[in-house]
Amino acid sequence: MMSDNIYLLAGFAIIWVLTFVPSWWLLLKLLALSITARRTKRFFLYLFVYRLLIAAPYVFLLVFGQNVLPDIIQILIVGFVVMGLMFSVIRFFFSEKVVSWLWYVYGFVYDGLLHYAPYRRLTNQVVELSIKQQPKPRRILELGCGTGNVIVGLQDEYKHKIKVVGVDSSKSMLNIARRKCSEDVEFVESDITKFLSENETKYDLIIMQNSLYALDDRSDLWSKLGHTLTTNGSIVITNSDRKGSSSITKEHLRYGKWYELLHPKLLIVGLIDAFISQLSSTGKFHFLSEADIRSEIDDLYTMSEPIRTYGGVNILFYLRHKGKSV
Ligand SMILES: C[S@@+](CC[C@H](N)C(=O)[O-])C[C@H]1O[C@@H](n2cnc3c(N)ncnc32)[C@H](O)[C@@H]1O
């Protein structure tokens, strides 16, 4: 009896461990596919295999533990499997909410990135390029400002008085940004496209650090940015143009301390970033190449030669009005 229990537990543990990574991978894939409304045969196949993997260790218990496990435990296991199936359906049914939840949840752990050397370097590079482009701006706008790390960097460097506005659609990100930045920074909770449509103020410097890829519709973006920029203003942008977490981690090991990688918030950030990568493969997020960007902005702006950064997966560049009358 005792040895039956041990075999049963060992079998359960082995199947659980073996199915853990593939089931998480499938879950991210499924969430990404469901957001882009690709309810294809592939989606249902993934969903089927995902549920199978999740249920496998429990089905093993039920099949091989019939004579060992008390009835009540068997009933609880069946309830657990059925409830999981129901949650799965609910999760994919409300899939359109997932992106806004993603940014909301991300806000609670986002500053785990401050323990990541490539992120600190990227933010410093954005601040440096901004100062080089606009040594004495009067007004600065950051679109998709997150928890305000770029704004903090700018405020540390610029010594004169500047009006700074940060725009983001995530409440949790903005709550943290408000706590970190000085009181004269104005934070606006808004979608970037909506903000640009309604805004009438002009800015000398507009910054977008890793928010361009999240914009669904860029049809009017460049002209709206042009209307928001002063005649001699600059737009500083950094955006991922490819996937790849290992090269970023290698950069961390070159510039940071290895144990920083174990920070719990950073580990969750890693999981969320894996999901963002999945979304880029489904077309929900846009890791635009230099050529893509040049083709979109060509009539309106001159684009600087991009610098490759963030473990080689990001490009960093600035834009200037081509003519003086955009
Ligand atoms: C990867 S984070 C970058 C945050 C910050 N720029 C930084 O690098 O630390 C992307 C940010 O863009 C915001 N965002 C994404 N799509 C947005 C949209 N359509 N309108 C406004 N903010 C958006 C998210 O809430 C998130 O804070």
Q: What is the pLDDT of residues 174-229, one digit of tens each?
A: 999 999 999 999 999 999 999 999 999 999 999 999 999 999 888 899 999 999 99
98 domain-assigned:
no
**Which of 90, 86, 31 minimizes the C-alpha distance to 55?**
86
Which of ligand 1's atoms lies nearest the C-alpha of 122?
8
- Beta carbons of 109 and 272 less than 8 angstroms apart: yes
Distance from Cα 66 to the centre of ligand 1, integer Å: 51
The Cβ-side half-sphere exposure at 169, using a 13 Å CA radius, reads: 14
Which helix (H) or strand (E) covers residue 140, if one does? strand 139-143
Q: Last residue of some domain: 71, 93, 115?
A: 93
Distance from Cα 144 to the centre of ligand 1, integer Å: 4
- Beta carbons of 256 and 117 less than 8 angstroms apart: yes
What is the count of structural domains for the chain?
A: 2
Q: Do 87 and 108 have their domain in common?
A: no
Q: Do 56 and 143 have their domain in common?
A: no
For atom 20 of ligand 1, the residue with the nearest CA is 191
Distance CA 119, CA 188 (A): 24
Which of ligand 1's atoms lies nearest the C-alpha of 215?
19
191 domain-assigned:
yes
Q: Do 153 and 274 have their domain in common?
A: yes
Low-confidence ranges of the chain (pLDDT < 70): 1-2, 36-39, 87-96, 282, 324-326
For atom 4 of ligand 1, the residue with the nearest CA is 146
Distance from Cα 142 to the centre of ligand 1, integer Å: 10
Determine the structural domain holding residue 18 and report its residue range: 2-93
Residue of 101, 172, 211, 310 with the most ligand 1 atoms within 8 Å of its CB, for mutation:
211
256 domain-assigned:
yes
55 domain-assigned:
yes
Q: Is 174 in the pocket of ligand 1 (CB under 6 A)?
A: no
Q: Do 160 and 262 have their domain in common?
A: yes
Q: Do 82 and 216 have their domain in common?
A: no
**Tokens read off for 192:** 């970037």
Q: Do 135 and 22 have their domain in common?
A: no
18 domain-assigned:
yes
261 domain-assigned:
yes
Q: Do 35 and 119 have their domain in common?
A: no
Q: Do 164 and 311 have their domain in common?
A: yes
Q: Supply the CATH number for residue 192's domain.
A: 3.40.50.150
Q: Is 154 in the pocket of ligand 1 (CB under 6 A)?
A: no
Which of ligand 1's atoms lies nearest the C-alpha of 123?
8
How long, in residues, is the chain?
A: 326
- Using only C-alpha atoms, the chain has a radius of gyration, in whole angstroms, of 24
Q: What is the pLDDT of residue 252?
A: 95
Please identify which residue in the block is written with the tokens 């990568």.
Answer: 277
Q: For residue 282, how far is the Cα from the chain centroid?
A: 14
Q: What is the pLDDT of residue 38?
A: 59
Tell me which long-range contacts 304-308 makes (C-beta under 8 A, separation of at least 24). Answer: 307/125, 307/129
Q: Do 138 and 190 have their domain in common?
A: yes
Q: What is the pLDDT of residue 91?
A: 63
Q: Do 229 and 163 have their domain in common?
A: yes
Q: Last residue of some domain: 74, 93, 112?
A: 93
Q: Do 147 and 283 have their domain in common?
A: yes
Q: Last residue of some domain: 50, 67, 93?
A: 93
Angle between the 2-35 and 71-93 helix axes, to the nearest 10 degrees? 10
Q: Do 88 and 111 have their domain in common?
A: no
326 domain-assigned:
no
Distance from Cα 316 to the centre of ligand 1, integer Å: 16
Which of ligand 1's atoms lies nearest the C-alpha of 144?
12
Which of ligand 1's atoms lies nearest the C-alpha of 107?
27
Distance from Cα 133 to the centre of ligand 1, integer Å: 23
108 domain-assigned:
yes
146-174 burial, b if ≥16 CB within 10 A, otherwise e? bbbbbbbbbbeebeeebebbbbbbbebbb
